[in-house]
Structure formats: structure tokens, C-alpha cells
Homo-oligomer: A and B are copies of this chain.
Amino acid sequence: MNTIPAEEAAAIYRNAVLKVMHRETQMVKTEESLGRITASAVYARYCSPLYNAAAMDGIAVISAHTATASEVTPLVLKQGVDYQVVDTGDPVRMPYDAVIMAEDLLDAEEDSVKITASVPAWQHIRPVGEDIVAGEMLLAGNHKIRPIDIGVLLSGGIVEIEAIKKPKAGIIPTGTEIIEADQVPREGDIIESNSRMFAAMTESSGGIPRRYPPIPDDYEKIKHAVQGAVKENDIVIVNAGSSAGTEDYTVHILKELGEVLVHGVAIKPGKPVILSIVEGKPVIGLPGYPVSAYIDFENFVRPVMDLYSGETNSSRNVMKAVLSKRLVSSLKHKEYVRVKVGKVDDRFVASPLARGAGAAMSLVRADGFCIIEKNSEGYEAGETVSVELFRDIEEISNTVVAIGSHDLILDILADRMPLTHPGIYLSSTHVGSMAGLMALKRGEAHIAPTHLLDEDTGVYNIPYLKRLFSDRDMVLIKGVRRIQGIIVKKGNPLGIKEIRDLTGVNYVNRQRGAGTRVFLDYKLKEAGIAPSEVNGYDREAATHMAVAALVKNGGADAGMGIYSAAKAMDLDFIPVGEEEYDFATEKKNLELPKIQAFIEVLKSSGFKEKAMTIGGYELSMAGEIIEV
């Protein structure tokens, strides 16, 4: 599999598709045409107004007959002879050629009025065709219908329009190991989810998805499915098997059935993509990792779908942001790095997230992509970069950015925030306590959730803030007291009782700088045990939940963590001590409405009740401010 640059691959494919494709059109009722794209220009059938219409409530008069009226020589007009009463919108017929507003009439009797000024012809009349003239072009071709267009089309007498037919996209999931989402997975199974993501992406780019049942890794079966889908659709997507592995049949099948124009693109994630034409239809092989598949869909499937659908408006919002960390990339490919963007101190900061192709959650958490072009080695921390946004810039501006230690209460806070404070959000990135404080220091976060024990004083968090932020006014927003302990398998089969017992088991540790690791180190020292005596001390997991998952699934016998994580995974828990999990921030941030909202949620009974149902928390101080 040789790779070629992404732009070149897209251009080759576009030209090949343009040669074989044809767009179809269909008539659509105007009232059902929202979001459809016109196949050709639409011309008005009627004028609007359809006739000369009164623009005011009043009387229609013959302007020439009012010429002598003045303050000195008022004129009395007779109904039926000199005027007719009209309401706004009523037709004004010849010989009447002007309207006088009701409030300008004097001595109005049953059938006569007095006026004291002449009126020019066409006063207060909306002439026929003032808004729309019959025969006039209402909409150009290739125009996406908006609500106001529907109003104007109907006013112009157009009850149906010729629209571009939505392209049909066939989606074929393949793989012996995949199961449907409603089945109970066993070890070795992978839940099929990509095809549903593609279906939604197809829909949101103006196509009609058709998802076929999964096909096992079998050359003939996949070939048969592709042949069927090519007949029934405009575009076909095969997923996965686009790599060059032993069971990756897709490329061989597409070579047999048609022409493979591209196999392998210098893009990361997303390298193993296949772009082919089979019987005059584009057939695209997408990789299995969800992030790769997503990026390849955006780069290679959507542009092709746009050729069929006539959509042009799929361009992303691009913004400038300051990069929080150095980003190194290979010269060999164009790389899409997921970033979270926060507005801190009036500047937008982009923080890179996990880069693995398998990390789909990092795409959910991301606000956009920072793209590192091929032949670029990347960017330095502090550089201003362009970010392709998925999220509204206003939403980003109204988000509290938390970077630091993870606790399940962060999820609860993030969930409750937009409910009680509409339009305000909390986003959290979990890097451990110390890394969170460093992010706060670099201006990347508003708050840093932290639980760092000072070994000398036995005090939590405050000594660290004093040491790290000696030049700034800091506060601690109190969070919760929570229980730290050893997470073990249900029933505690190894009979672990205390720290000393960790020496004999397969342990999983937290990363350097995590409060839980600091806590372990403190406890090991207390017990006189060297880290090297703990088997697995060097193996790191990033969150309490990741530790619990490893214990649950046999990847480890024990790990230090919080009660709520053990409970969420239905594991046993041996309490070791209590600690303080708080939120560090700069004092000036307390004035920000979004930080005030955060504190309000933290103090709310709604939040506290939710946290109590999880258990393992003491909440009496939540939301209190401690000046450091």
C-alpha cells in the first residue's frame, strides 16, 4: 500500500467520479422542500401583490380630483363617487389611484369625509408586482431552500419545484468479529457502530443512507454484497478491511469488480482508504478504527456525495487558537489532531487530545481539529494555529474548562450545568492533579480539580497552590471529601487487606502527578515499602475508571482508586483513607459568570443528591471559597 497526498487523492477521485456520475432530479412540493436543492432556476408565476393594493386602512381616491384641497379650501368627498373605504391589502381599482390614511380624514360621516390637502397619485398604494414580478427569477439553480424561500415561492404561485434527488449511499459493514449493537458482546466481539455513524454522516450531508446487514470476512460474500449495493445505490461504502492485512479482502474485490484509483493516503489517522469506481459508481473502502473512518469520510466520501447532492455548504468554521502543548508530526502525512478549545483570559487555547485512531471518545470530546500539513514537523507550544471547529464558537466561549484529576462528580456537574444554567457548559480533561495545576498555570484552564497531599504537613492542595502560584492570587473552591482505597475483584479472591498486601499481586498504578499516585507513595512510605516491591508500579492507567476496568477484566489484581469507581464497576473496595478533592482557580476568575454558575451548581441540592446516590462522598464544604 503506497500512500499519496490527501489532496491529490481527492482530486484524482473527483475527476474520476465526474466522468461517470449523473445527477437526477425530482419534483417536490414547495411546502415540503425545506433543505432541498433546486435543480434549476425558479421563476415566479404570479406577481405579489397580485393587484394594486392599499398599503393603509383609509379611503381610495382619484388623486387628480384632490388637487384643489388645502387648509383654506377643504374638500368634501362623497363615498361611492369620490372614494371607497379600503383596508390594508384591499385592491384599489381604476379610476382610484391613491389612498388617504383614516387618521388624516376630517369630519368623517357615514358617506362623506373632508380633506385639507391634495394627494399625489399612487400614495399609500403597493403597486402590482412591488415585491415579486411574474416571470422574475425567484431562486437560482443549486440553491438550498430556506424557510423564507418557501414563503416567496408560494407567494409567486410556485407549488412545486424541481429539486436534485438525494443520492443513495449503500453502507456494508464487514468483519467476522462484529456483532450488532443489541447483542450481548463476548470477548473477541466488536460492536458494529461505524455503519450507523456513516448513515448519520450521509444524512447530514444530504444523502439517503441504506445500511446492509454485516457480512463476515469471506471474499465471495463481500463481493456479492458489493455487487448488490452498487446496483441499488449511487455511492457504496465498504467497512472495514481496507488495510493490507491477511483478511483485508476489500481492495482485491474492488480490483476484480472495477478500478481502484487510490489505496492508501498520506493522512493520519485514516491512511488505509480505498477509492474505486465499480460499474460507474463510486465505491469507497473505509478503515475500521472509528476516528480514521470519520476523517476519511469527511475527506473522501462527503466531497463525492456533494457532487451528487449539489450541497456546497459543508465548509467548517475555522478559528485561530493558541496551542497549549508542542505537537510533533511526521513529514510523511497530513495529520488531524483532535483538540479541545477553551476561552481563558480572552484568548482561545487549543489543547491536543488523544491521538490514537481507536480513541473515538476523544473525537466526541474534541471541539475541532488542528491540522498539521504533510511536510510540516508540527507546532510549538504557544504558537497560534488554525482549528477546524465542530462546535459553536459561542458555546466554546461559555464553557468552563476543567483540566486535572478525574472524579465522577465532574460528570454530574457537566450534566447539570446546562440544565440549570442554559447555554453554560463544563468540559473536563483528565490528566491528573499536578498536570492540571500546570495547565492552570499556563492559562489553558479555568479550574484544576486536584487532590494533592502535602506529605510534610498532611494538608491537601493548599501547600501546592502556594508553592506553584506564588505570584498570583489563588483560591480553592472546595469540592468533596472522598474515600481512597484499594479496588479489587468482587469477593476479594486474593484476600487483600492493606497496603502491605500490594507487594504480592499484579498492581496497576496511576500516572505520575496523579493525586492517587501521590497518595499511594505516601502510604507505601508510611508502611516502609519500596515502590520496586510493588509488581506493576510502573504500569499506568489514566483514570480511576480505567483502573477499575482493568481489575474488572483481569488485566490487574488491584489498583488504588475511589469508592465510586469501584461501585460503578461492581468491584470490592478496601478503604485506606479520606482525601480532599477540590478545584483550584485564580481569584479573578470568581467574577466570571460561568465560574459563578459552576459554584452555584456545586452548592445546589440537586447536585448533592446525585453525588450522595453514588456514595463515598462527604459534601458539607462543596462550593465554599478558601483564599490561598
Contact = CB atoms under 8 A, between A and B. Distances in A.
A90 interface: yes
A194 B134 CA distance: 19
Interface in A55-90: 55, 57, 87-90
Interface in A109-141: 121-122, 126-141
A84 to B, nearest CB: 13
A604 interface: no
Contact of A141 (B247, B418, B545): B418
A101 to B, nearest CB: 12
9 contacts: A34-B204, A41-B412, A121-B539, A122-B539, A133-B549, A136-B411, A140-B418, A148-B294, A157-B181
Given A31-B199, A415-B140, A550-B128, A87 B246 contact: yes
In this complex, the member of A93, A181, A246 whose beta carbon has the largest number of chain B beta carbons within 10 angstroms is A181
B196 A181 contact: no
Interface residues of A, number: 122
A137 B315 contact: no
Closest 9 interchain pairs by CB? Answer: A129-B549, A135-B568, A154-B193, A147-B200, A151-B197, A137-B411, A41-B415, A133-B545, A128-B553
A34 B148 contact: no
Contacts of A363: 148, 152
Contacts of A497: none
Given A57-B246, A188-B91, A294-B148, A545 B135 contact: yes
A62 to B, nearest CB: 13
B555 A132 contact: no
A87 B245 contact: yes
A203 interface: yes
A573 interface: no
Contacts of A93: 187
Chain copies in the assembly?
Answer: 2
A612 interface: no
B141 A47 contact: no
A415 B30 contact: no
Contact of A181 (B154, B395, B541): B154
A493 interface: no
B392 A315 contact: yes
Interface of A: 30-31, 34-35, 40-41, 46-52, 55, 57, 87-91, 93-94, 121-122, 126-142, 146-155, 157, 159, 177, 181-182, 185, 187-194, 196-201, 203-204, 243, 245-247, 288, 290, 294, 312-313, 315, 356, 358-361, 363-364, 390, 392, 394-395, 408, 411-412, 414-419, 422-423, 425, 536, 539, 541, 543, 545-546, 548-550, 552-555, 565, 568-569
B415 A52 contact: no
A532 to B, nearest CB: 15
Given A133-B543, A148-B197, 20 more contacts: A41-B411, A46-B185, A49-B190, A50-B185, A90-B188, A121-B536, A126-B358, A127-B541, A130-B359, A131-B359, A133-B545, A135-B545, A137-B415, A140-B417, A140-B425, A141-B418, A141-B419, A146-B200, A151-B194, A157-B181
Determine chain A's interface SS by DSSP, over half rule.
loop
Given A51-B553, A549-B47, A130 B358 contact: yes
Contacts of A415: 40-41, 137, 140-141
B360 A196 contact: no
A545 B151 contact: no
Contacts of A142: 418-419, 422
A33 B313 CA distance: 23
A376 B442 CA distance: 42
A150 B157 CA distance: 41
Contact of A312 (B41, B423, B565): B423
Nearest to A194: B151
A85 to B, nearest CB: 10
A395 B312 contact: yes
B364 A138 contact: yes
Nearest to A50: B185
B364 A139 contact: yes
Contacts of A159: 181-182
Given A132-B361, A358-B130, A197 B245 contact: no
B187 A91 contact: yes
A555 B128 contact: yes
Nearest to A35: B204
A385 B361 CA distance: 41
A313 B361 contact: no
Given A197-B150, A245-B57, A422-B312, A414 B140 contact: yes
A93 B136 CA distance: 72
B30 A152 contact: no
A544 to B, nearest CB: 9
